[in-house]
A and B are shown apart, each in its own frame.
Chain A
Amino acid sequence: MAIKSYRDALNEAMHREMERDARVFVCGEDVSGGAGGTSGEREASGGIFGVTAGLLPRFGEGRVIDTPISENAIVGLAVGASLAGKRGIAEIMFADFLGLALDQTMNQAAKFRYMSGGKATCPVVIRAPYGAGMNMAAQHSQTMYQIITSVPGLKVAMPSNPADAKGLLATAIRDDDPVVFFEHKALYGRKGEVPDGDYLVPFGKAAILNAGDDATIISMGRMVVFAEKALEGLKASGVNCDLIDIRTSSPLDEDAILDSVEKTGRVVIVDECPPRCSVAADIGAFIASKGFSSLRAPLELVTAPHAPTPFAKELERAYVPSPAQIDAAVRRVVSYR
């Protein structure tokens, strides 16, 4: 184990997988940066969040490909090459820009296997930094994973901590299905223990980060960190909860969710999305249909409001679900009679 940031854990996963498998390549805008221009510094950025730093010097321009700003073609580049036997990792600089690449993502990558009757494999990874909290306003702050989760044929991961960042990304790269991998921008600097060497976290296997009988908190991505904060205060006042980090919204670990709901009967789902068709709404509907008899209180969904992400820091702070909102929601379900 070593203490590493979420960013470095992702970077390590890419280094290791590119080392391990010569078919793996990385492409995207500024993934190394410095192509062309006047400074002569060939690796000028390593991705604007630095996640792909060091890959170019190690693996060269053939496998670390700086592209024009052409999101649909960036994803298409990785998808087409993956259909032809490579394993492409496409970086979409902000998850919001998936809007530009939705055709290659949802009509192409997601559907080749099905349309070909199981003959095609498309082992592509689309990395998408997401999330609010950095005053980047409405077009650089969305979660987007709720839209992608709804598409059959795609897998969706969103790590909440550095160890999972490394383990889930390695799994995504080795997976034979297309994966859209959501990295929360505000977590890049988060540090934590990361296992050394080969480390894989399976898809569809939730992490139970805390065990308690009073309620079940289900969350993903950065909201897990907020739920952990809320738990500190709740524990101090004698309320203890199961905390489930789903890790992947597709596939979803339905067993882990139902087991916990059966035990506690009281559920809070925390999701950074706006509420309509969110992952929270999806999991809520699942619990309402499959775990109804266990429920002892109405479901509480803690989400952003049905509005774009605002810019002003006061507004954005109130927009993103907070530990205080999670705390209040847990107390409501626990006190429900």
Chain B
Amino acid sequence: MTSQQSRDQLLGAYRQMKMIREFEERLHKEIMTGEIAGFTHLYSGQEAVAVGVCAHLEADDLIVSTHRGHGHCIAKGCDVKGMMAEIYGRSTGLGKGKGGSMHIADFQKGMLGANGIVGAGGPLAVGAALSAKLDGKGCVAVSFGGDGSVNQGAVFEAMNMAVVLKLPAIFVIENNGYSEHTGADYAVGSKDIAGRSAAFGMKSIKADGSDYFAVYDAMGELLDHARAGKGPCVAEFETTRFFGHFEGDPQKYRAKDEVKRHREEMDSLKIFRAHVLNDRLLDETALDAIDADVLSLIEEAVSEARAAPPPQLSEITTDVYVSYP
């Protein structure tokens, strides 16, 4: 399957995964300085899912994301500097500093927003899929959600609605093991997200979310199904997050060595590198060049965000409505 991806595609995928990783690792450091306000939920560890899924998507395909949305934004092509500025609460941010980390969106890129409400993206993606179906151009809508979101009624409603209306919606469930501080092994009653989703009447796949190639192949199969008008489907990707639920989370619910072990065994970047080098798909020099390039771009993004002005106070009451007499 992997041979279907060109060298450029693979380099692009690696670049995005690296971008997500460095974006988040840098944020983790910057948040310690106290310069970034509010809640930030980091995506480090889950890169292969966002990138493996979005690698298949066209500009007109739509995605709906979660509170842990930076990775989805980058994978769908949001401007990294605009994202960083938004997280810093600057007027140059993608949402003019009015949305922040949990609400980054770029409608021009088909990114319908990160979302502060767990599970809310399900119904929104179903609506986006309805729009795609009405347009009849073969586009799809992808709802990203975590193992926590599958216990929300909104997601149950959305999955059933998508099946009833035969919509080109793909529910991507990133099972990182925890809904906030509570284990998925406790909170998901059946302990089987893919199986429960299949019970709604959808095609369902479970795959390794730390392996870009496994995600890519699974998503390819689901997209063929959805684009052919055969209805919605679900992918459950097993993954992990390298940080807490939010920055500052002491993570007392995780075994002492868990993150360390996961960083060794489930690092999507390491797994990707090993795969492409072993199969001689890419060479180390090219990957190292991407690493350097990404680091300098993140550096620029941070310094530009720091230097950018905060929003004017007059912005408090703008953009509430398109028009309001």
Q: How close is A118's CB to chain B, nearest CB, in angstroms?
A: 4
Residues of B within 8 A of A108 (CB): 115, 117, 120, 124
| Binary per-residue interface labels of chain B (305-325) against chain A in the complex, 1 for a CB within 8 Å, 0 otherwise | 000000000000011111111
A13 within 8 A of B: no
Within 8 Å of chain B (Cβ to Cβ): is A107?
Answer: yes
A114 at interface by CB-CB < 8 Å: yes
Q: Are A204's CB and B126's CB within 8 A?
A: no
- CB B311 to nearest CB in A, in angstroms, measures 9
Selecting from A82-90, A188-196, A284-292, the interface stretch reads: A82-90
Q: Which residues of B lie under 8 Å from residue A77 when comparing CB positions?
A: 123, 126-127, 130, 161
A152 to B225, CA, bound (A): 40
A112: chain B residues at CB < 8 Å are: 105, 113
Question: A residues 116-159 with Cβ under 8 Å of B?
Answer: 116-121, 152-153, 155
Bound Cα distance A80, B123 (Å): 7
Measured between beta carbons, the chain A residues less than 8 angstroms from B107 are 83, 116, 119-120
Candidates A68, A70, A79, A111; contact of B127 at CB < 8 Å: A79
**Is the Cβ of A251 less than 8 Å from the Cβ of B324?**
yes
The complex places the Cα of A111 from the Cα of B4 at a distance, in Å, of 41
Q: In whole angstroms, what is the CA distance A320 to B15 when docked?
A: 64
Q: Tell me which residues across on chain A come within 8 A of B120, comparing CB atoms.
A: 76, 103-104, 107-108
Asked if B154 and A103 make an inter-chain contact with CB atoms under 8 angstroms apart, the answer reads yes
- Which of B112, B153, B321 lies in contact with A113, CB distance below 8 A? B321
Size category of the B interface is 35 or more
Q: How far is the CA of A79 from the CA of B129 in the complex (A)?
A: 11
- CB contact under 8 A between A75 and B321, given known A116-B95, A117-B97: no
Q: In the assembled complex, which residues on chain A have CB atoms less than 8 Å from the CB atom of B64?
A: 80
Determine if B95 and A117 form an interchain contact, defined as CB atoms under 8 angstroms apart: yes
Nearest to B110 among chain A residues (CB) is A84
Restricting to A273-330, which residues have a CB under 8 Å from any CB of B?
none
Residue pair A76, B323 in contact (C-beta under 8 Å)? no
Within 8 A of A (CB), among B108-140: 108, 112-113, 115-117, 120, 122-134
Q: Does A177 contact B (CB under 8 A)?
A: yes
Interface status of B99 (Cβ within 8 A of chain A):
yes
Q: Spot the interface stretch: A49-57, A59-67, A222-230.
A: A59-67
Contact A81 B123 (CB under 8 A): no
Interface residue A2 (Cβ < 8 Å from any Cβ of B):
no
Query: Which residues from B are CB-within-8-Å of A251?
Result: 324-325
CB-defined contacts of A65 to chain B, threshold 8 Å: 130, 165
Residues of chain B with a CB closer than 8 A to A74's CB: 161
Measured between beta carbons, the chain B residues less than 8 angstroms from A76 are: 120, 122-124, 126-127, 154, 157-158
| Interchain CB contact (< 8 A) of A83 among B103, B124, B160 | B124
Considering only CB atoms, which chain A residue lies closest to B311 in the complex? A117
Query: A115 contacts B105, CB within 8 Å?
Result: yes
Q: Cβ of B141: which chain A residues have Cβ within 8 Å of it?
A: 80, 84
Q: Which of B103, B116, B131, B132 has the most CB of A within 10 A?
A: B131
Give Cα A65 to B105, complex, Å: 28
B153–A72 CB distance below 8 A: yes
Given known A65-B165, A117-B94, A152-B320, contact A70–B157 (CB-CB < 8 A): yes
- Contact in complex: A80, B98 (CB < 8 Å): no
Contacts of A175 in B (CB 8 A): 322
In the complex, chain A residues whose CB is within 8 Å of the CB of B301: none
| A202 CB within 8 Å of chain B | yes
- Which residue on chain A has the smallest CB distance to residue B125? A80
CB-based nearest A residue for B98: A117
Leading 4 A-B pairs by shortest Cβ distance: A80-B127, A76-B123, A117-B96, A73-B157
18 CB contacts below 8 A, A to B, read: A67-B164, A76-B122, A76-B154, A80-B131, A80-B141, A81-B128, A81-B134, A104-B120, A108-B117, A111-B103, A115-B99, A115-B113, A117-B94, A118-B318, A119-B108, A120-B107, A152-B320, A177-B323
